[in-house]
A and B are shown apart, each in its own frame.
Chain A
Amino acid sequence: MPFTDHSDIYAAVHEKGINTVVRHLMRQRPSLFNYATPFFHQYPKLFCNPIEAAPTVLQAGNPLFTEVEPLPIYGAPIPIGVNFCLQLTDAEIDFHPGNIVRLPAELGKLASQHLAIRLKACVGLDCPPTEWIERMLPAIERLLVEQQKLAIGEVKEQTGSPRLSTGAVSDRGAAELAGPEARELFNSRSIVIRDDLGKLSVPARGIVVLPTRELTCFCLELFAVAHFEWGSVPGSTQPWLKTRLDGLEIVDLAPTPMENAIECYLSTVLRLGILPQVIVPMEKLIFDVTSVLEEQGLSVSQSITLQPAEVPADVPDNPAIEQDELRAFVRLKITGGS
């Protein structure tokens, strides 16, 4: 059967092709899929999943991840953070019939004209060693007393030590207060930490990053089912192409009420926050060939446009999700002229 039996022009992309493109994107722009604190420049082996980058990326010295601030320790008298990383390690799409993404039982079997998406994300979070916490604790307590931030309220004790405040000066003061171990922690301009991994120096940006030996990693898999549909938008006279989320499931998250709550929140974010922003009006899907020809210096007396084949007059679904492909059917319309 010819491809164009229901339209003038037919275009299709196979799920295998889309997934291959995603893999290329992950290898050639890894910074779009990996987020971590600058610490990981020195210790890339601590990533939950090794980052596979294309040789061109490595040769160009492109960053393998996007730098983010350390995860803050809320309540501490000075800015303290812990290293972490977030990696999107897998992304797959599966057009009906489902044969790539094995959907969890909660989402059932992939229905006709639907697509499934599987995303796998891993998070690695530093858990500071107890001995470091105990070593820092005197300085933290001293700072809290100085700053009068204790739960019991104001304390009138005089320490006789220089008054401390946050910032570079307070770091030096804390070092004087807490002895040589803390001196290693709080250096005035940069934070120097000696641990089992060796000596590392992280430029100070007003935040103290706790030393990291290893990360605690966990991965979550997210499955989603969606479809396309044509619909109206109040106040608009033209049809709109919309992406609709049919279901979302995070696997192996417990307890179940928490899983349900997170899934519900993510679904709501997608349905009300993200997917409404990607609806497409019909006018954007009409390609004006006449103006393109005129730009090329060829003036035509007719109006020539490429526009989606009509549903259901021309085809039952457009775009259609079938036989592992996303398919679009296009009509060539020539009007006017003699």
Chain B
Amino acid sequence: MADMTLAISEATFQKSFDTMIKNIRWEAQDSTDWGAFSAGYHVKGHLQGGSIDLRADNTLRVDEVDIRWDMLEFTLGLDIPKICVGGGCIDLPWPLPDLCLPEFCLFKADPDVSITVDLSPFVAQEVSFEGGIATRYYDASQPPPAGFDPCALLRDVLVNNSIIDPFPANNQWHVYIIPGTVDIDLFDFADIVGDLIENALTAAVTALIPGGWVRDLLLAIIGSVADLIRWVLDIPDEIDEWLSDLFNVSFGLLDLLVQVVLTFFGVCVPVYRIDDPFPVMDAKTTTALRLDQAPVTLVPVALPVRNLNVAITDLELVLQADIGA
């Protein structure tokens, strides 16, 4: 039996996942002006749906998380040089007053022409992926692998850009997330069509019937029909995901590319590090140990960590570790 055990149930993962999905929202906007041309964007989105599943093969799967765009506006602007006609004054001799002509200008605004397109009703993504968790021991005394080490190269790049800390001089336990298959639908056709139909029908019914149980009933029916349409249209993607899961490989160029990149990162870059020995009491300076009140700096207390292991079953994630002698 391990010295320490921590277990988290699948239901806890699901509850935490649902909460996270409900609360993750983002918004960004920016614009740039190149003189004659300008461009800008204003995007706002949130996550929706999805589920998380712990599986008996030591992996977990996040299934069909929808990326929804509340606003996906892109603006292009054109600033046409101002053209003015008229204007100017003619000096007439006294006692006649000066004669000033009115000026008419075109393209005074900046930009003069602006086109904004909101793509949010037509764009939706869906992401699914599965992966496992692995722990490895980093022995600082071991020399790096001979020859070309792609992992070291990747880590150096990340360290040089201050994205991760370098590997330390002391031993550590490293926790890695090893990605499996990835399925990214850049255009979630089923949801796009389903949303368009549902929105159109809902708007029509709401306009025709201002309120009451009949309207509610019709809206409920529309929702169910839209869900059915989404489900039917999503069948090809479900088959694609099922096959990916079965053969443990991502289909599609983008999915395969993302899987390769994530696997490279997953294998090379730990997501969590635990020092070995693990400090439990900090160094401390005290005057209480000597009768002459001379200050003494005590070394930190650290515990050796052994057999750190993370296991996933279909019911829970279990983290176990021993304290070394």
Cβ < 8 Å to A, chain B residues 273-325: 280-281, 288-292, 296-299, 301-303, 313, 315-316, 318, 322-325
> CB of B4 within 8 A of chain A?
yes
A300/B19 contact (C-beta < 8 A), A11-B5, A17-B323, A205-B291 known: yes
> CB of B22 within 8 A of chain A?
yes
A14/B291 contact (C-beta < 8 A), A31-B298, A62-B298 known: no
Q: Is the CB of A14 within 8 A of B4?
A: yes
A28/B23 contact (C-beta < 8 A), A8-B12, A332-B16 known: no
Q: Is the CB of B15 within 8 A of A2?
A: no
Q: Is the CB of A10 within 8 A of B6?
A: yes
Cβ contacts A315-329/B at 8 Å (1 or 0 each)? 000000001110000
What is the CA–CA distance of A252 and B30 in the complex, to the nearest angstrom?
Answer: 82
> Residues of B contacting A324 with CB < 8 Å?
1
Q: Which 4 pairs show the lowest CB-CB distances between chains A and B?
A: A17-B3, A3-B7, A4-B9, A8-B12
Q: Is the CB of A2 within 8 A of B7?
A: yes
Q: Is the CB of A298 within 8 A of B16?
A: no
Task: State which of B15, B302, B316 has its C-beta within 8 Å of the C-beta of A3.
Answer: B316
> CB of A278 within 8 A of chain B?
no
Q: Is the CB of A7 within 8 A of B9?
A: yes
A304/B325 contact (C-beta < 8 A), A8-B9, A9-B12 known: no
Q: Is the CB of A67 within 8 A of B9?
A: no
Interface size (B, Cβ < 8 Å)?
A: 38
> Residues of A contacting B298 with CB < 8 Å?
29, 31, 60, 62
Q: Is the CB of A24 within 8 A of B4?
A: no
Q: Is the CB of A3 within 8 A of B291?
A: no
- CB of A69 to closest CB in B, whole Å: 7
> CB of B11 within 8 A of chain A?
yes
Q: Is the CB of A4 within 8 A of B19?
A: no
Q: Is the CB of B8 within 8 A of A17?
A: no
Q: Is the CB of A8 within 8 A of B1?
A: no
> Residues of A contacting B117 with CB < 8 Å?
none
Task: State which of B7, B19, B296, B315 has its C-beta within 8 Å of the C-beta of A63.
Answer: B296
Q: Which residues of B does A touch, CB under 8 Å? A: 1-9, 11-12, 15-16, 19, 22-23, 280-281, 288-292, 296-299, 301-303, 313, 315-316, 318, 322-325
Task: State which of A62, A69, A300, A304 has its C-beta within 8 Å of the C-beta of B296.
Answer: A62
Q: Is the interface of A mostly helix, strand, loop or mixed?
A: mixed
- CB of B143 to closest CB in A, whole Å: 24
**21 sample A-B contacts, Cβ–Cβ < 8 Å, listed by A number:** A2-B313, A3-B5, A3-B316, A4-B315, A4-B316, A9-B6, A10-B7, A13-B3, A14-B3, A29-B281, A31-B298, A56-B299, A60-B297, A67-B291, A205-B292, A299-B23, A300-B22, A324-B1, A325-B5, A332-B16, A337-B22
A12/B315 contact (C-beta < 8 A), A38-B291, A66-B288, A302-B19 known: no
What is the CA–CA distance of A57 and B281 in the complex, to the nearest angstrom?
Answer: 14
The residue on B at minimum CB distance from A328 is: B6
- CB of B284 to closest CB in A, whole Å: 9
> Residues of A contacting B2 with CB < 8 Å?
14, 17
Cβ contacts A143-177/B at 8 Å (1 or 0 each)? 00000000000000000000000000000000000
Cβ contacts A17-58/B at 8 Å (1 or 0 each)? 100110111001101000000100000000000000000110
> Residues of A contacting B281 with CB < 8 Å?
25, 28-29
> CB of A16 within 8 A of chain B?
yes
- CB of A24 to closest CB in B, whole Å: 6
What is the CA–CA distance of A38 and B289 in the complex, to the nearest angstrom?
Answer: 10
The residue on B at minimum CB distance from A7 is: B9
Q: Is the CB of A16 within 8 A of B3?
A: yes
Q: Is the CB of A4 within 8 A of B302?
A: no
> Residues of B contacting A300 with CB < 8 Å?
19, 22-23
> CB of A237 within 8 A of chain B?
no
What is the CA–CA distance of A13 and B297 in the complex, to the nearest angstrom?
Answer: 31
- CB of B255 to closest CB in A, whole Å: 28
A14/B9 contact (C-beta < 8 A), A31-B289, A66-B288, A300-B23 known: no
> Residues of A contacting B3 with CB < 8 Å?
13-14, 16-17, 20
What is the CA–CA distance of A69 and B280 in the complex, to the nearest angstrom?
Answer: 31
- CB of B37 to closest CB in A, whole Å: 35
> CB of A334 within 8 A of chain B?
yes
The residue on A at minimum CB distance from B16 is: A332
What is the CA–CA distance of A28 and B302 in the complex, to the nearest angstrom?
Answer: 8
A304/B19 contact (C-beta < 8 A), A9-B7, A63-B290 known: yes
Q: Is the CB of B15 within 8 A of A63?
A: no
> Residues of B contacting A338 with CB < 8 Å?
22
The residue on B at minimum CB distance from A8 is: B12
Q: Is the CB of A8 within 8 A of B323?
A: no
The residue on B at minimum CB distance from A300 is: B23
Q: Is the CB of A17 within 8 A of B7?
A: no
What is the CA–CA distance of A265 and B131 in the complex, to the nearest angstrom?
Answer: 59
